[in-house]
Amino acid sequence: MGSVATSGQEIVLPRHVAVIMDGNGRWARERGLDRVEGHREGRYAARRFVRAARERGIEVVSLYAFSTENWSRPESEVEALMGLIETALLAELEELCERGARLRVSGRREELPAPLRSALATAEQATAENDGLVLNLCVNYGGQVELVDAAKKIASKVVAGGLDVEDVTPEVFAQHLYVPDIPPVDLLIRPGGDLRVSNFLLWQIAYAEFYSMAEYWPDFQPEHLDRAIEDYSRRQRRFGGLALDE
Ligand code: FPP
């Protein structure tokens, strides 16, 4: 974990920052716009966030782009989101490559439209050898479904005789998550003011610090990330143990 002293305050850099990109619809509605316009603007906020995270030395960012529950939205919004994620990804690919970033994907991709699946595969392959920032894009992602999928993989191995039930530890379980080789979430940021985790990275956020910001996601600016990191730096993380002076 990085640690830098600025203006008297010790800054502790989280390794993995996850974001629930909320408030796009409200941002649009307050401007008399269609909800989809909020998502379009949210795409640029995602770009600002990823750039800011990389510049600050954060290792992994996870973005909640589409949840397993978002299918219940109107068909037009779902279609627009699928197209937007595909277009945004392909448009950002050159910069991701230039900056040495690596795209990882979390979620049930087999249920996504073919053009989006293909864009995800293209971006994954093009960045597979990069060792800079990891962008974990969560699409058709649900925390509960991820745990179910992990349990199914484990059960299959047990049935096939490749794994003993007694050997299923938290470490072994974690190896069956969608992207097993990234550190747990240190800091979970939720814009839009709501105080809930909405089925996001349920396993990975076990000891994450939660940071809520009132601003809607399309209004995200790099200073918000700095404020979140400053706040995170003041937290005393105990991971179920005791603080050093207790
Ligand atoms: C939640 O806001 C936001 C979403 C369901 C979609 C977020 C997706 C993007 C911003 C696209 C980003 C693309 C890439 C490739 C990173 P909401 O609609 O629930 O807002 P509300 O709570 O105000 O209604």
Question: Would you say residue 70 lies in a domain?
Answer: yes
Question: Would you say residue 162 lies in a domain?
Answer: no
- Residue 212, classed as helix, strand or coil, is strand
Residue 9, pLDDT score? 81
Question: Would you say residue 156 lies in a domain?
Answer: no
Instruction: Give the global pTM.
Output: 0.95
Question: Would you say residue 130 lies in a domain?
Answer: yes
Q: How many Cα neighbours within 13 Å face the side chain of 100?
A: 7
- Would you give per-residue pLDDT tens digits along the chain (246 residues)? 455 555 668 999 999 999 999 999 999 999 999 999 999 999 999 999 999 999 999 999 999 999 999 999 999 999 999 999 999 999 999 999 999 999 999 999 999 999 999 999 999 999 999 999 999 999 999 999 999 999 999 999 999 999 999 999 999 999 999 999 999 999 999 999 999 999 999 999 999 999 999 999 999 999 999 999 999 999 998 898 887 677
* 49 φ, ψ (degrees, to nearest 5): -65, -50
Residue 161, pLDDT score? 98
Query: How far apart (Å, rounded) are the C-alpha atoms in residues 166 and 147?
Result: 18
Contact (CB, 8 A) for 154 and 168: yes
Instruction: Name the residue with tokens 């293209």.
Output: 122
Residue 2, pLDDT score? 57
Ligand 1 atom with the smallest distance to the CA of 89 is 15
* Tokens coding 116: 């989006």
**Ligand 1 pocket test, candidate residues 24, 81, 82, most atoms within 8 A of CB:** 24
- The domain total for the chain is 1
Question: Would you say residue 133 lies in a domain?
Answer: yes
H-only helix segments in the chain: 24-29, 35-56, 75-98, 114-127, 143-159, 170-174, 222-234
The residue among 225, 164, 169, 199 whose CA lies nearest residue 71 is 199
Ligand 1 atom with the smallest distance to the CA of 70 is 5
Dmax (CA) of the chain = 59
Question: Would you say residue 224 lies in a domain?
Answer: yes
Question: Would you say residue 27 lies in a domain?
Answer: yes
> What's the CATH code of the domain at 81?
3.40.1180.10
Range of the domain at 44: 10-142+184-234
| CA gyration radius, the chain | 19
Ligand 1 geometric centre to CA of 78 (Å): 11
Ligand 1 geometric centre to CA of 58 (Å): 22
Question: Would you say residue 159 lies in a domain?
Answer: no
